[in-house]
């Protein structure tokens, strides 16, 4: 009887370990999940864009919402101003029509928080694929910040002498415009070459090139471009071919 009980205990332990192993195996690893990311120029929303039908839907200028045609509604994203590394968390709104050249439409609040350069609103849109606890924590943080701003009393008001004018010599640093259009990355150089030939056959005006990033990464791209007009024209020309995820890459 004793041996029978020992055998039963060993069998149950073995079965439990097998179930645990199977459960862990079925949990997707975060690193294995393909998340959407894109680098490009955002469009800063204004009512003028809506009235002129450049953007088909309105955005609350104080909201943390964006339009992004490649992501589902209510998807959480991290937006990074690549020129200064400032980031913010936002939510994708309902589907909206906007220029294909722009990788997102952002509210004025987001533009201000990120200190976006109006002439070069260069951002990365990164899909957040995490559990609801992470998203809830973000929402709670914003609610807490809003409550603090409302509840903190104003103890005193300081009035500066308006007759005293302080002159500050600030030199505005112009950011050089220097970008390329990344069409796609390929594992094999032959595949990249085939893509270049295809593009040239369909549009002889375009001049695609290949850059070897590593032994297993060969990039097909257009450019470089030193002004936004030529960049946008080439983007519109290549987008007709319906590539999956064209990116605008800044050359430092």
Domains of the chain: 34-127 (2.40.40.10), 179-250 (3.30.70.1070)
Whole-prediction pTM value? Answer: 0.71
Cβ contact 120:82 at 8 Å = no
Cβ contact 95:84 at 8 Å = no
How many Cβ atoms are within 10 Å of 224's Cβ, its own excluded?
Answer: 16
Q: What is the pLDDT of residues 52-77, one digit of tens each?
A: 999 999 999 999 999 999 999 999 99
Most trustworthy range by pLDDT among 4-8, 23-27, 190-194: 190-194
How many Cβ atoms are within 10 Å of 241's Cβ, its own excluded?
Answer: 14
Task: Give the per-residue pLDDT at 133.
Answer: 44
Cα–Cα distance, 238 to 230 (Å, whole number): 12
Half-sphere exposure in the Cβ direction for 133 (13 Å, CA): 0
């Amino acid at each position: 009887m004793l041996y029978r009980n020992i055998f039963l205990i060993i069998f149950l332990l073995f079965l439990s370990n097998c179930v645990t192993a199977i459960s862990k195996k079925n949990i997707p690893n975060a690193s294995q999940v393909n998340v959407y990311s894109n680098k490009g120029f955002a469009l800063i929303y204004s009512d003028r864009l809506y009235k002129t039908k450049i953007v088909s839907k309105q955005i609350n200028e104080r909201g943390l919402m964006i339009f992004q045609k490649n992501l589902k509604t209510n998807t959480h994203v991290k937006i990074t101003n690549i020129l200064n590394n400032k980031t913010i968390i936002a939510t994708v709104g309902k589907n909206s029509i906007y220029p294909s050249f722009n990788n997102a439409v952002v509210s004025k609040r987001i533009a201000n928080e990120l200190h976006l350069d109006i002439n070069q609103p260069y951002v990365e849109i990164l899909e957040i694929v995490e559990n609801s606890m992470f998203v809830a924590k973000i929402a709670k943080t914003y609610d807490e910040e809003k409550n603090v701003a409302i509840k903190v009393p104003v103890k005193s008001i300081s009035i500066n002498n308006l007759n005293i004018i302080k002159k500050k010599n600030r030199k505005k640093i112009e950011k050089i415009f220097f970008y390329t259009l990344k069409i796609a990355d390929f594992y094999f150089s032959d595949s990249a070459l085939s893509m270049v030939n295809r593009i040239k056959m369909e549009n002889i005006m375009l001049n695609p090139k290949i850059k070897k990033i590593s032994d297993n990464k060969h990039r097909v791209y257009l450019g470089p471009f030193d002004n936004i007009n030529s960049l946008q024209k080439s983007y519109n020309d290549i987008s007709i071919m319906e590539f999956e995820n064209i990116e605008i890459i800044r050359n430092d």
